[in-house]
Structure 1
Amino acid sequence: MDKRSKIALYIIGAVIVFIMIAEIVKPQPLNWRDSFSAADKIPLGCYVLFNELETFTDEEVIASEESIYQYLKKVDHTSPKTLMFINNRIYFDSEESNALIDFVEQGNTVFISSIYHYGNVLDSLNVSVERQYANIYRKEAENKFTSPSLKANNRIFKDVVENSHFVSVDSLNTTILGTITTKTEDDNDNFETNPNLIKIDYGDNDGQFILHTNPFAFTNYHLLNDKEDYAATVLSYLPKQQIIWDNNYKSGRKVITSPLRYILENQALKWAFYISMFGLILFVIFRGKRTQRIIPVINKLDNATVDFTRTIGELYYQHGDFTNIIEKKIQYFLEFVRTKYYLDTNQLNPSFIEKLAVKSSNTKEDAKTLVDYLVFLKSKKQHTEQELIELNKKIEHFTKHKL
């Protein structure tokens, strides 16, 4: 890589690092998601309210993380309690509605602040809610209390506001505690006032529903922007008793998004899963320690002498060095005779021929023919290919009896 290419790579790398640092240190946009969760410190969370609820009760504030139908089956009914629901929409199915009504009939209080109210509860209370759909940007609204002594705590909500209100109530059992005043749609400086905070007595044990239609009034945004007196006044209508904070019916509720959600939400299945994973880890650890590793197979070293000899012979043959090959074959044959039959090969005379014929089980004529040809070849300085072939034939013929 040349110098110019290296410089280009360095520049590209520096730019990438700079972009990464800029992404990390840049200010994060403000999260305006509807949450109403006690754990969220974002503008539309309820962290501030939840931590201030202890001022409205002499007992510990309890947080419920499950459906109201399941929770109310195990709640302590020996003393009256207040159940609080704050969210942009609240829906109760038939079983939850019945459990909630039974809870109030026992002398407890239910506080609901929501834009939308769904389910059988409102039908049982003969209450209906209307929401302002006309404008994307809500008109400013004055939230007032009906009691003249609370006039100082009235507030005008100019932003992050919801102008839902009640359009029909059961006048026999309902007390209007607060109203909302907004401009009409004709833009002629006309105003309309509707109830947005009511109390409904229910049952024979002083149970009550307190319903409110502006849940944003209890969010961090308004409690930290001069609206805390309004929220405190609304909550002052709650009896001085233990408060149960609903943390389940929330838009910002923390849910398990894992594919194992069904298992992790079931207590028995969750512990079975954890125990299985723990056992599997122990099995892998101990199995890995106790199992002997596979011993690799080591093959015998190949005897490459024959291949080496063949390669060298082919090399001599390709270069046409027949004399050298003949000399090597004669030397090899005589060495074989010395080591196999213990014969002296210095003198290739008739006595040697007779001994070689006897020990090799060949005829004297065959032994003499081979030895005479060896002597003939040793006397020559240059040899031909034909002589090499002839020598090889004679040696093979002589050794066919397995010397």
Structure 2
Amino acid sequence: MDKRSKIALYIIGAVIVFMMIAEVTKPKPLNWRDSYSASDKIPLGCYILFNELETFSAGEILTSERTIYEYLKRVDTTTPKSLVFINNYLSFDKEESLALMDFAEKGNTVFMSGNYFYGNAIDSLNIAVVRQYNNLYKKESDHKFTSPSLQKNNRLFKDVIENSHFSSIDTLNTTILGTVTTKDEDDFDETNPNFIKVNVGENGGQFILHTNPFAFTNYHLMADKADYAATVLSYLPKQQIIWDNNYKSGRKVITSPLRFILNNPALKWAFYISLFGLILFVIFRGKRTQRIIPVINKLENATVDFTRTIGELYYQHGDFSNIIEKKINYFLEFVRSHYYLDTNQLNQNFIEKLAVKSSNTKEDAKALVDYLVFLKSKTNHSEQELIELNKKIEHFTKHKL
């Protein structure tokens, strides 16, 4: 490969690397997609709720990852259970609706929270839902419980909310558990049921329906709506909960560009063989052309060793006066550079200023300065005086030197 080709490859590689870095490092916008999935930590996911759901369950949380018709054929219904659906809309075909009704008639509980409901199961309960399509995500609504003892858990939803309510119910079998109040076009309060319980069969089965799934999302649970959501779920009987993770707007789907290749057996094996061959080429080609990289030793910092050697030299020669002189000069330089004090006259005024600026007592400052003056007045010094000077300076500066 000639020099021009190598330069072109380097440039192309640099551009690709730069684009990858720019893509990885750019800030990601906040994802406001409706999800309600147990694994999503985005604002409209249900990660927090799912991890706190054991509080309301009589056993381990079961998770359904398939249609409810398929799941209920395999689950044990000999003991009562609660089936929990939370999504922006919930739709069930004929087989799924029959499975739900049969499940409830055996004495189980079906909890649904959604802005809208579709299917034969809902039709058989004789209820209808109205969804407000104006001012989505903006029109605030006041959610209240009908029980007087639960009024403290009422909440006003000011944002991230789509308002729905039940426009008709079967009064013989239905109990209203909560209401929603919004402003109509004339700015008058309009109150409608949005949280109901419908009795089914002769074995104590029930449908508990709620029209505000946003209340269970991470966004509102992280705010001040956790008590409201907990109160809604407290109407579930204390029995094992089945969490639906299939009827979700945020259900996990593979979106990789390689999805088509990996789903086709022939293309998948061709991709794997090509990738394996490329790895072998890089390994063996690298071994043939790689040159020995020389070992470069780490640069040593000889400053500390030099200082130690000079200090030992002074000390071994017993030149204590020279060492004391240098320590005094170094300390005074420290005072000038850190405390901005004039060190020409070590008088009473200097002692007072030094004590204030160094956060030491006046007595400690005076003891140190007097000892410095005493040492400066002598021509010969002993080892003990050097040790004493060092102790006083270290005590005074508290190791700031």
TM bucket by the smaller chain?
A: 0.5 to 0.7
Please list the CA deviations of residues 321-364 of structure 1 after superposition, one character each: whole Å capped at 9, or x if unmatched: xxxxxxxxxxxxxxxxxxxxxxxxxxxxxxxxxxxxxxxxxxxx
2:111 aligned with 1:111, yes or no?
A: yes
Please list the CA deviations of residues 74-126 of structure 1 after superposition, one character each: whole Å capped at 9, or x if unmatched: 11011000000000011000000001000000000000001110000111000
| Residue identity in the other structure for 1:251 | S
Alignment match, 2:169: 169
Alignment match, 2:322: none
TM-score, length basis structure 1: 0.60
| Residue identity in the other structure for 1:69 | Y
2:235 aligned with 1:237, yes or no?
A: yes
**Structure 1 unaligned spans of 5+:** 1-9, 264-272, 286-403
Distance of 1:149 and 1:21 partners within structure 2: 57
Distance of 2:29 and 2:121 partners within structure 1: 39
Alignment match, 1:380: none
Distance of 2:35 and 2:76 partners within structure 1: 29
Q: CA deviation at 1:28?
A: 1.1
CA RMSD of aligned residues (A): 3.1
Alignment match, 2:123: 123
Q: 1:136 to 1:57 in 2, by over 3 A?
A: closer
Is 1:49–1:220's contact at 8 Å kept on the other side of the alignment? yes
Distance of 2:181 and 2:44 partners within structure 1: 23
2:229 aligned with 1:228, yes or no?
A: no
2:183 aligned with 1:183, yes or no?
A: yes
Distance of 2:183 and 2:100 partners within structure 1: 36
| Residue identity in the other structure for 1:182 | T
| Residue identity in the other structure for 1:157 | F
Alignment match, 1:372: none
2:214 aligned with 1:216, yes or no?
A: yes
Distance of 1:14 and 1:83 partners within structure 2: 54
Q: 1:185 to 1:59 in 2, by over 3 A?
A: same
| Residue identity in the other structure for 2:97 | S
Alignment match, 1:33: 33
Alignment match, 2:144: 144
Q: CA deviation at 1:26?
A: 2.9
Is 1:162–1:213's contact at 8 Å kept on the other side of the alignment? no
SS at match of 1:216: helix
Is 2:137–2:162's contact at 8 Å kept on the other side of the alignment? no
SS at match of 1:97: helix
Distance of 2:220 and 2:184 partners within structure 1: 24
Q: CA deviation at 1:234?
A: 0.1
2:80 aligned with 1:67, yes or no?
A: no
Distance of 1:95 and 1:70 partners within structure 2: 10
Distance of 2:12 and 2:108 partners within structure 1: 68
1:264-343 correspondence to structure 2 within 5 Å: none
Q: CA deviation at 1:231?
A: 0.2
| Residue identity in the other structure for 2:227 | D
Distance of 1:259 and 1:250 partners within structure 2: 23
2:91 aligned with 1:91, yes or no?
A: yes
Larger radius of gyration: 1
Alignment match, 2:48: 48
| Residue identity in the other structure for 1:100 | L
Q: CA deviation at 1:23?
A: 4.0
Q: CA deviation at 1:57?
A: 1.5
Alignment match, 1:207: 205
**Structure 2 unaligned spans of 5+:** 1-9, 278-401
TM-score, length basis structure 2: 0.60
SS at match of 1:32: coil
Is 2:138–2:159's contact at 8 Å kept on the other side of the alignment? yes
Is 1:143–1:156's contact at 8 Å kept on the other side of the alignment? yes
Is 1:247–1:253's contact at 8 Å kept on the other side of the alignment? yes
SS at match of 1:37: coil
| Residue identity in the other structure for 1:96 | E
2:189 aligned with 1:195, yes or no?
A: no
SS at match of 2:227: helix
| Residue identity in the other structure for 2:213 | P
Q: 1:226 to 1:97 in 2, by over 3 A?
A: same
Is 2:58–2:241's contact at 8 Å kept on the other side of the alignment? no
Alignment match, 1:250: 248
Distance of 2:127 and 2:49 partners within structure 1: 27
Is 1:37–1:46's contact at 8 Å kept on the other side of the alignment? yes
Identity of aligned residues (%): 70
Distance of 2:150 and 2:172 partners within structure 1: 24
Alignment match, 1:337: none
Distance of 1:97 and 1:70 partners within structure 2: 12
Q: 1:124 to 1:18 in 2, by over 3 A?
A: same
SS at match of 1:176: strand
| Residue identity in the other structure for 2:200 | Y
SS at match of 1:110: strand
| Residue identity in the other structure for 2:229 | A
Is 1:216–1:222's contact at 8 Å kept on the other side of the alignment? yes
Alignment match, 1:57: 57
SS at match of 1:232: helix
| Residue identity in the other structure for 1:162 | E
Distance of 2:162 and 2:39 partners within structure 1: 22
Is 1:138–1:163's contact at 8 Å kept on the other side of the alignment? no
Q: 1:241 to 1:204 in 2, by over 3 A?
A: same
Is 1:104–1:110's contact at 8 Å kept on the other side of the alignment? yes
Q: 1:87 to 1:262 in 2, by over 3 A?
A: farther
- Tell me how many residue pairs correspond in the alignment: 262
Is 2:84–2:241's contact at 8 Å kept on the other side of the alignment? yes
Is 2:137–2:161's contact at 8 Å kept on the other side of the alignment? no
